[in-house]
Amino acid sequence: MGVAGSTSKVESPDLETTPRPKHIFILSGQSNMAGRGGVTRNRHWDGVVPPQCHPNPAVSRLSAALRWEPAREPLHHDIDSKKVCGVGPGMAFANAVVRRGGAGSEAVGLVPCAVGGTAIKEWARGENLYENMVRRARDSVKGSSAAAGGEIKALIWYQGESDTENQRDAEAYRANMERFIHNFRQDLGLPSLPIIQVAIASGDSRYIERVREAQLGIDLPNVVCVDAKGLPLKEDHLHLTTEAQVRLGLMLAEAYLNNFASMKASYRQPEAHYC
């Protein structure tokens, strides 16, 4: 699918109020989740926002300061703050969920947590990245009542390129990822929390298939996988292009809508494994 009108630039929206979201999604992983779409060789973001990623009054983001604000690209600008962030999959995902009625008439909230260049061992329980993600996830629903407040609907996870750099990390990836899922669900008190992970499209050629096999092989309840292989890469052969990020966001939305959008008080087994 092409990105129609992707040469236009969009100013930040002037929204007087930010609705407290009821459908909350955690965005985490490394650089392709943080977004490098449109980041040029000289490490500047070109500012191009595809129509699928335009700001939407129904979509907000949790800032680094733990405040809800209107969501706009780059979603991770104050989270992956040591790198230049561009377009990622989050806005295209959220807009598609809203457009398709996956949140009803209620607001959607995104909680950016991804940090570029990070390995799965850096997301282990007790490590700073993991603990910060858990803290942000908890704060996203703080003060929410069953009648008025938000609910974490899914973790969307795109990580693994850093674990293709040596054989030991690649071979340990599946066990580490399964432990990560267990710990995150346990620490949030959500034992059936939906997890939508992305099978990586790039990495060290020697061990990328080991990591992809691990991602494709995870067989846990309420875990589905979207495969990024074949999506267009930038000249660095590592990061997805802006167009690829839009396509990935739509694929993630489809996975959520097909498997989890109708889930209410109790969770069910996903109807399909996407990888």
Give the pLDDT of residue 165. Answer: 95
- Please give the CATH topology (third level) of the domain spanning 23-259: Rossmann fold (3.40.50)
pTM of the predicted model, to two decimals? Answer: 0.90
Q: Is the pLDDT of residue 145 over 50?
A: no
Active-site option among 182, 236, 237, 273: 236
Residue 38's pLDDT band (cuts 50, 70, 90): very high
Question: Could you give the residue ranges of the DSSP H alpha helices within 25-117?
Answer: 31-34, 90-99
> What's phi and psi for 183, nearest 5 deg?
-65, -45
One DSSP character per residue, 251-267 reads HHHHHHHHHTTT--SS-
Share of the chain above pLDDT 70, in %: 86
Q: Is 80 a catalytic residue?
A: no
Average pLDDT over residues 211-234: 97
Give the pLDDT of residue 210. Answer: 97
Q: Is 145 a catalytic residue?
A: no
Mind listing the pLDDT tens digit for each residue in 108-129?
Answer: 999 999 999 999 999 999 999 9
Active-site option among 6, 28, 31, 60: 31
Q: Is 236 a catalytic residue?
A: yes
Helix, strand, coil percent values for the chain (each to nearest 5): 30, 15, 50
Give the pLDDT of residue 264. Answer: 58
Range in 6-10, 28-32, 93-97, 130-134 with the lowest mean pLDDT: 6-10
What are the sequence ranges of the domains in the chain? 23-259
Share of the chain above pLDDT 90, in %: 80
The pLDDT mean for the chain works out to: 90
Higher pLDDT, 264 or 81: 81
Q: Is the pLDDT of residue 8 over 60?
A: no
Other C-beta atoms closer than 10 Å to the C-beta of 190 total 17
